[in-house]
Structure 1
């Protein structure tokens, strides 16, 4: 099992509450009063048994909104119930929190049910404790890093999720600066999340939005710098793992060996192995495609009918048949246009091309030449 992204047969998002205590410019689930109660939770095990066989690994991702707003005791009641009702499965829990509510009670729960790993969302500039966009987000930054230190002092491991916005890319033009920033904070596990034009991000796209090509170039450049970083011995070396960089690099290595298989959203696993529950019931897709904001999705994907997402994926892949990277790419996130105004595909053809070209120059995936 890998930290922050454990292996699973099915990932089940449990959108406990859609209210939030922050105001973020990129959120794909607009702040609203929807909330799950125990009757909603009690319906989950029976549904899980319709798509997963006993003995398989079910990863429950507690999601929101801000999931800690349901309170420690309700969260404990939920995880205890799910583990007991699905005792013949391997049940694993994770969550995504903005850390504003962290205290000793949450620390105890994370140790007991979340294996001491806490998924934590952080983004520069675009997260605020007040809705006023003139708020420089200093209050959020101060509280976040203070609570992160408190979390680490409890012996817990943060898994930091950072959204790849235009603001992030401009603030950290040199990938090495962001790597060193994270190391200085004692962070060892990071995931860069692809920004989708859904929810609040639609209205803020001119400020924070990133085209497919911009993302592809940035993630390739970061992969190059990261690959150089992990290959270079240094004093007091700190183990660092960044997703999807690890997966992208390994995918290209597989392709070069004549093997198949993508990583994360590029694997297509979301079409059949991702599920969402909220107070409205069950949806066969990830939470990025099943929130109410999906009605305003730039792509317009509908997941109302079982199998519909798989059919859309197959149709979307028709013009991928001649792509050299098709064996390791499913065509990208379905919440992102296949090809946008930049002319780049959602799968990140340019990123794969740059990484592949550099690997061809060296047996070591350091990518030093391009990174420099």
Structure 2
């Protein structure tokens, strides 16, 4: 039996399209719209594609928005829930002409990525795609942005437009639109197309755009070049052109016909089967078309023998090879752009070696050692693309914002803050810098009003008696919320706009109606998006096969608590708990490879950076699960032996670039963004403030909506680092967000902590990472900000 490893499924709701792009490979008219029956058959068939990793579903065409919002309101939940528990990520590739507010709302709810096609400025674009195309698409891009939807762009370069590549690049740079690069190839219906981009011109284009790109990495992203550069060090292709694509990428046309990708739609000779027949992976693999692809992969190995780039090129795209061969299938024919790709990969390899041995990079390696994340690829523009990790277009703007926040915190006015930034060499246009700092200042005067997490403590019963438990849960506790109340409050939280609803305890699996709870959660999973349903568990509970299945279907994410290695975990949670948890965790991962898992650890700073943290990190890597590490708090059982105040730490935050990118500006510790709901329905701001004095109301009796809209909850918005006497003079306050109220020395919500030097140190590390990313030397910072609270720039480590 063949097992498919499909990671990308393209659905073509219709092949019709109102645009008339000169070089389009597809039919424009005469196509039906995908029926509900075909959608349902697609969901059933997609379950046969395996459950390994995330499945990307892209709605393509034709023009995929022609069926309208009603189609997507049916398709998105049907596919997401029908393919569960495998995670699904949606995208749409469209000219956007039919993008309505209703579609934007649906796409926002289901976190759909939007892509469009645009070939540069209006004159260039419309010469290739038809008069009026540019105006209609740009208008819809603006509409998408109004709904906080980002849009990526495919830019097709033709024989005519390649000579104006500089204008095209400048257009996307000015518009703040990232793009991918496509070359116009002959369509099968027009083999002598005047639009076709010759291979030598394509090679020149790739190298020209690489040079422009490397000089503007902080302002734009070209995904094609990112993937091609990264593939050199990864040793495998990063986009479909450079992979053995059959089976990895599949398409379904409006009538349910399955083809190797969307380019083959409408060509009966390249059909693999039909979703209405629900063909198995074995059926697809034995189809004549599949065998054609396998033969090509075998023959191209011979054709490309000796090429140093074979591992990450794989002979290129089969469709491109067919298109330049007059529609005749030749299994030995390489992609016609082979010479262009080889030139590009040769240049990248040579430049990468030069950057590795540059003085700047060697100095960084000598100072840091061979970093376990980046190895020898530490300093150099091209090296930032080759090594992966955060992109400069994400890192540098956030780094500038971080430095500006500190400058603003220590200044009496926005003008003074800009003067400091100018001394740091970060100002090129003073009027623009002042406008940006004033905008940041206004945002810091506006407390956050979004909702993040609703924590539903469904019971305080627990199979363990952990030494650090803030709820003091244990086997003797009996409090439990009824299943009907749990489900009602979870749904209400989603409708109110909470990003995540966390089912926690105690141990949720100790709930007296556990099976009914899990069954109800499974039915609740199609919550209004972007809300996600999470289940927190110690996973040291006996798991039956039936319980494993119920867990897999009950939540979008399962968060498992562990505390380092076996010794540290058992010391806190009881002998044998680590072994049970680990066996159950591996069982859960084996049963559902695509299940979203997270490991949540409570470790002090020494543990997080020692063997305990390494053990958590290693397990997360083994299971493909992100890790979140938080410090112990002086709450519940831990209050008897309160730990020292330490900054939050996380093994996800490793490296200057990562830290610079992830550093956020905080006005508050999180007050008014989360809610803690006890088993009896009592609501509190957080677990640090869950005493009677801070009760916000009762969600079971009043309804959660009344609590969240109430005066006590909304009054928390006024408690910020600028209103708290202890914080408002601190230059680090916007990088810190204030101390966790668990550390307050007094009963008042504004009582200061005994000592927050550790939090200051963490904020300083964030500033150091930002300055390093921006290339600001220590002495320049000291000269510009010598009135700032002093710290030793040279001894603070990003990992502190």
If the TM-score is normalised by the length of the shorter chain, which range does it land in? 0.7 to 0.9
Match of 1:170 in 2: 163
Structure 2 residue 262 is matched with structure 1 residue 287: yes
Tell me the secondary structure at the aligned position of residue 68 of structure 1.
coil
- Check 1:102–1:191 CA distance in 2 against 1; reply closer, same or farther (3 A cut): same
- Deviation of 1:72 after TM superposition, in Å, equals 0.8
- Structure 1 unpaired stretches of 5+: 1-7, 231-236, 296-302, 368-372
Greater relative contact order structure (CA < 8 Å, 6+ sep): 1
- Check 1:191–1:200 CA distance in 2 against 1; reply closer, same or farther (3 A cut): farther
- Deviation of 1:200 after TM superposition, in Å, equals 5.8
The number of aligned residues is: 328
Name the CA distance, whole Å, in 2 between partners of 1:181 and 1:49. Answer: 42
Name the CA distance, whole Å, in 2 between partners of 1:343 and 1:77. Answer: 41
Structure 2 residue 240 is matched with structure 1 residue 242: no
Match of 2:118 in 1: 122
Match of 2:672 in 1: none
Residue by residue over 1:218-244, the C-alpha shift from the partner in whole angstroms, topping out at 9 and shown as x without a partner, is 1122122212322xxxxxx53x22121
- Deviation of 1:251 after TM superposition, in Å, equals 2.0
Tell me the secondary structure at the aligned position of residue 44 of structure 1.
helix
- What are the within-5 Å matches in structure 2 for residues 1-372 of structure 1? 10-34=7-31, 35-53=33-51, 56-115=53-112, 117-124=113-120, 137-172=130-165, 174=166, 177-187=167-177, 189-199=178-188, 202=191, 205-206=193-194, 208-230=195-217, 238=219, 240-252=220-232, 254=233, 260-292=235-267, 304-337=288-321, 345=338, 348-363=341-356, 364-366=380-382
| TM-score w.r.t. length of structure 1 | 0.79
Match of 2:737 in 1: none
Name the CA distance, whole Å, in 2 between partners of 1:180 and 1:126. Answer: 13
Name the CA distance, whole Å, in 2 between partners of 1:337 and 1:123. Answer: 23
- Deviation of 1:40 after TM superposition, in Å, equals 1.2
Name the CA distance, whole Å, in 2 between partners of 1:89 and 1:17. Answer: 26
Higher strand share: 1
Residue by residue over 1:81-103, the C-alpha shift from the partner in whole angstroms, topping out at 9 and shown as x without a partner, is 11121121101110111011122
Pairwise CA RMSD of aligned residues? 3.0
Tell me the secondary structure at the aligned position of residue 67 of structure 1.
coil
Name the CA distance, whole Å, in 2 between partners of 1:327 and 1:16. Answer: 35
Tell me the secondary structure at the aligned position of residue 247 of structure 1.
helix
Match of 2:707 in 1: none
Contact 1:18/1:31 (<8 A) preserved:
yes
Contact 1:28/1:293 (<8 A) preserved:
no
- Structure 2 unpaired stretches of 5+: 271-286, 326-334, 357-379, 384-800
- Deviation of 1:209 after TM superposition, in Å, equals 0.5
Residue by residue over 1:77-129, the C-alpha shift from the partner in whole angstroms, topping out at 9 and shown as x without a partner, is 111211121121101110111011122112111201234x311111256866x
- Check 1:339–1:22 CA distance in 2 against 1; reply closer, same or farther (3 A cut): closer
Name the CA distance, whole Å, in 1 between partners of 2:47 and 2:288. Answer: 20
Name the CA distance, whole Å, in 2 between partners of 1:227 and 1:357. Answer: 15
- Check 1:21–1:199 CA distance in 2 against 1; reply closer, same or farther (3 A cut): farther
Contact 1:332/1:347 (<8 A) preserved:
no
Shifted more, 262-271 versus 56-65: the winner is: 262-271
Residue by residue over 1:132-164, the C-alpha shift from the partner in whole angstroms, topping out at 9 and shown as x without a partner, is x8x994422222222222221221101111112
- Check 1:109–1:346 CA distance in 2 against 1; reply closer, same or farther (3 A cut): farther
Kindly report structure 1 stretches of 4+ aligned residues shifted beyond 6 Å. 338-343
- Check 1:42–1:146 CA distance in 2 against 1; reply closer, same or farther (3 A cut): same
Name the CA distance, whole Å, in 2 between partners of 1:358 and 1:33. Answer: 50
Match of 1:370 in 2: none
Tell me the secondary structure at the aligned position of residue 191 of structure 2.
helix
Contact 1:325/1:349 (<8 A) preserved:
yes
Name the CA distance, whole Å, in 2 between partners of 1:249 and 1:161. Answer: 18
- Deviation of 1:291 after TM superposition, in Å, equals 3.6
Contact 2:20/2:129 (<8 A) preserved:
no
Name the CA distance, whole Å, in 2 between partners of 1:327 and 1:344. Answer: 16
Tell me the secondary structure at the aligned position of residue 320 of structure 2.
coil
